[in-house]
Amino acid sequence: MTEVLATAEQTRGAFGIWRYEIPPGGGPGSHVHRGEDEFFLVLSGTFDFQLGDGVERAPAGSFVFIPRLAVHTFKNVGLEPGVLIGGVTPAGFEGYFMRWKDADENTLRALETENNMEIVGPPLQ
């Protein structure tokens, strides 16, 4: 589940923020954002974050920064759902989450392109 908390319209384009609830084993494919830096605050659970070739464990309370153009992904490695606050600067990418819920594969690819994101590999194993 993803809930957008702050949009480009609300922050004058400065940043966008959302809240993720990620099931055990869940996480996106490896991807890159071409237009914004991304950050995460782990509210609950334990996640592994991959940035380039490195993987770091991030328990609750951890902050993770992903610079634009860096290949990255994450995975909930706990036994319970985990919660992340995610964000981007500048704003805009949060709009992806406002439109992806019931999107088919073609629509998702179009949303990724529209939001300067590219899936470049599988989820973290």
Q: Are 18 and 10 in contact (CB under 8 A)?
A: no
Write a three-state SS string for 59-73: ECCCEEEECCCCCEE
Q: What values do phi and psi take at 120, rounded to 5?
A: -120, 0
Classify residue 92: in a domain, yes or no.
yes
Q: What is the pLDDT of residues 62-96, one digit of tens each?
A: 999 999 999 999 999 999 999 999 999 999 888 88
Classify residue 12: in a domain, yes or no.
yes
Classify residue 123: in a domain, yes or no.
no
pLDDT band, residue 102 (cuts 50/70/90): confident
Going by C-beta distance under 8 Å and a sequence separation of 6 or more, which residues neighbour residue 76?
Answer: 22, 23, 24, 25, 26, 27, 45, 46, 47, 82
Q: Is the pTM of this model over 0.85?
A: yes
Classify residue 43: in a domain, yes or no.
yes
Q: Can you give the residue range of the structural domain that contains 76? A: 2-118
User: Is 78 strand, coil or helix?
Assistant: coil
**How many domains is the chain partitioned into structurally?**
1
Average pLDDT over residues 49-61: 95
**Domain of residue 81, CATH code:** 2.60.120.10
The confidence score (pLDDT) of residue 100 equals 65
